[in-house]
């Protein structure tokens, strides 16, 4: 019987050799991308996982008040806990004092009830001097706040390592004494307003960069190469200067008594202040929404312009000439033939700019002032100033969710496969 299988010189079937060669190529390719993959995992995926974990996981109370949290699980929350709970609370505080972890207990409880950190510290110090009960009277005499049912409800909620507190707080919500979800008091509702402000400023900056960047990109794409290369230097100039340098420059230009304000005052152009919302007539531009949008637009303009420009360079001029030869006016040909072909670049540039704007906090803080602080600034404050990693992670989770929703909507309406960055 004749073997019809094609073989190599060593007698191995050709198909087997081809599969072996393909596996070797796959292994080589994987080895080439392995450093990049490892870098992405370490610098991107792991921090995101840790952030998500911190947003829902906080074991400080259950680790430092183990007896109290165990007994509070059986408490109905209608009246003060029993003597047994107060005795366990006193014992846990004494243990925490020896372990020097009372501050962790107070820090966690202080997130929900301001000033409770100091009260926990004082209570622990006073209970260290008491050897025997009754512990209900001893704890309440240490500080009257422990006779409030709501205080113990907070301790009970915080007694679970997996907690929705931080995420609810990031959405201006909280758990009530009955365990239900309710809105936080009006004076403490800030985060949804900040999130809306962040989305609004990001959208406005994106629109401004599009309005300014599209005609400039069209001009660069249609000019001779030598002239376009020279003008491109001015477009790329923001990439060559530090973010703080650009922000400081706008601070100097827009501040009260700055270059722009003095020019408007000298020329008598005070009507611009009324347009911007300053009815006094004084040219106040610094620490305003206008200053924030202006500075961010200047910084983000290249990120919108360059993808649009790269797409415009690939569009053949014959399309426009063909449309004109068929009777279309220049404007009609531009609107119906040229503009649709630039949409992948427009979508890519706008999406890139919008997502980058969501993470701004230095420029709005320095140029726009406290009223224009964006959500990234609150994340930085919670993390670096307050040491509240749970809150910062929850706010980051909300921002990440908003970005993913935006990505989903973009993919449904336009399609991520149509995006062109170059």
Q: Looking at the DSSP assignment, which residues form a beta bridge with residue 182?
A: 174
Give the predicted TM-score (pTM) of the model. Answer: 0.80
CA atoms within 13 A on the CB side of 355: 15
* Predicted pLDDT at 212: 93
Instruction: Judge whether residue 35 has pLDDT over 60.
Output: yes
CA atoms within 13 A on the CB side of 295: 32
Instruction: Judge whether residue 260 has pLDDT over 80.
Output: no
* Predicted pLDDT at 273: 54
Q: How far apart are CA 174 and CA 184, in angstroms?
A: 6
* Predicted pLDDT at 270: 58
Q: With contact defined as beta carbons under 8 Å apart, do 157 and 143 qualify?
A: no
Secondary structure (DSSP) of 291-350: HHHHHHHHHHHHHHHHHHHHHHTTS-THHHHHHHHTT--HHHHIIIIIHHHHHHHHHHHH
Higher pLDDT, 195 or 262: 195
Q: How far apart are CA 235 and CA 215, in angstroms?
A: 13
Q: How far apart are CA 201 and CA 198, in angstroms?
A: 5
CA atoms within 13 A on the CB side of 48: 10
Backbone Cα Rg of the chain: 31
- Least confidently predicted of 241-245, 333-337, 394-398: 241-245
Q: How confident is the model at residue 308 (pLDDT cuts 50, 70, 90)?
A: very high
* Predicted pLDDT at 51: 83
Secondary structure (DSSP) of 72-112: HTT--SSSPPPHHHHHHHHHHHHHHHHHT-HHHHHHHHHTT
**DSSP H or E stretch at residue 175:** strand 173-175
Higher pLDDT, 414 or 233: 233
* Predicted pLDDT at 1: 42
Q: How far apart are CA 2 and CA 212, in angstroms?
A: 75
* Predicted pLDDT at 274: 54
Q: Which CATH class is domain 191-418?
A: mainly alpha
Q: Report domain extents, the chain.
A: 1-48, 60-161, 191-418
* Predicted pLDDT at 207: 95
Q: How far apart are CA 242 and CA 114, in angstroms?
A: 40
* Predicted pLDDT at 188: 81
End-to-end CA distance of the chain: give it in Å, rounded: 59
% of the chain with per-residue pLDDT over 70: 90
Q: How confident is the model at residue 115 (pLDDT cuts 50, 70, 90)?
A: confident
* Predicted pLDDT at 417: 66
* Predicted pLDDT at 124: 92
* Predicted pLDDT at 279: 44
**In the predicted model, what is the mean pLDDT of the chain?**
85
Tokens of 403: 């970005």
- Least confidently predicted of 177-186, 246-255, 297-306, 373-382: 177-186
Helices (H), 171-190: none
Q: How confident is the model at residue 200 (pLDDT cuts 50, 70, 90)?
A: very high
Tokens of 262: 């003095």
Q: How confident is the model at residue 92 (pLDDT cuts 50, 70, 90)?
A: very high
Cis peptide before 134 (omega within 30 of 0): yes
What average pLDDT does range 172-189 have in this prediction?
Answer: 80
* Predicted pLDDT at 422: 55
Tokens of 51: 């952030």
* Predicted pLDDT at 79: 87
Q: How confident is the model at residue 48 (pLDDT cuts 50, 70, 90)?
A: confident
């Amino acid at each position: 019987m004749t073997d019809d299988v094609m073989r190599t010189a060593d007698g191995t079937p050709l198909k087997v050799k081809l599969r072996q060669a393909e596996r070797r190529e796959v292994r080589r390719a994987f080895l080439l991308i392995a450093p990049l993959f490892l870098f992405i995992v370490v610098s991107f995926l792991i921090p995101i996982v840790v952030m998500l974990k911190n947003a829902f996981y906080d074991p400080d109370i259950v680790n430092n008040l183990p007896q109290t949290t165990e007994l509070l699980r059986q408490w109905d929350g209608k009246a003060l806990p029993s003597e047994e709970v107060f005795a366990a609370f006193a014992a846990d505080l004494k243990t925490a004092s020896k372990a020097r972890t009372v501050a962790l207990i107070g820090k966690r409880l202080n997130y929900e009830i301001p000033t409770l950190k100091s009260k926990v510290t004082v209570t622990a110090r006073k209970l260290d001097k008491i050897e025997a009960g009754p512990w209900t009277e001893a704890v309440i005499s240490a500080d009257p706040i422990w006779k409030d049912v709501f205080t113990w409800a907070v301790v009970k909620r915080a007694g679970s390592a997996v907690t929705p507190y931080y995420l609810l707080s990031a959405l201006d919500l909280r758990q009530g004494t009955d365990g239900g979800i309710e809105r936080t008091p009006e004076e403490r509702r800030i985060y949804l307003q900040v999130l809306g402000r962040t989305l609004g400023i990001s959208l406005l900056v994106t629109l401004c960069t599009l309005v300014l960047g599209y005609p400039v990109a069209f001009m660069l794409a249609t000019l001779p190469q030598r002239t376009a290369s020279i003008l491109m230097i001015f477009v790329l100039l923001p990439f060559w200067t530090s973010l703080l340098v650009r922000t400081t420059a706008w601070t100097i230009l827009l501040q009260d008594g700055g270059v722009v304000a003095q020019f408007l005052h000298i020329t008598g152009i005070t009507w611009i202040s009324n347009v911007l919302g300053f009815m006094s007539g004084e040219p106040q531009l610094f620490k305003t929404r206008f200053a924030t949008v202006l500075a961010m637009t200047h910084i983000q303009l290249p990120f919108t312009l360059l993808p649009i420009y790269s797409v415009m360079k690939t569009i053949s001029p014959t399309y426009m000439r063909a449309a004109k030869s068929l009777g279309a006016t220049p404007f009609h040909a531009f609107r119906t033939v040229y503009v649709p072909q630039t949409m992948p670049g427009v979508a890519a540039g706008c999406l890139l700019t919008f997502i980058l704007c969501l993470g701004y906090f230095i420029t709005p803080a320095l140029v726009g002032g406290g009223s224009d602080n964006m959500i990234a600034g609150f994340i930085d404050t919670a993390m670096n100033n307050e040491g509240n990693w749970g809150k910062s992670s929850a706010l980051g989770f909300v921002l990440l969710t908003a970005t993913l929703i935006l990505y989903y909507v973009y993919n449904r309406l336009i399609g991520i496969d149509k995006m062109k960055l170059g």
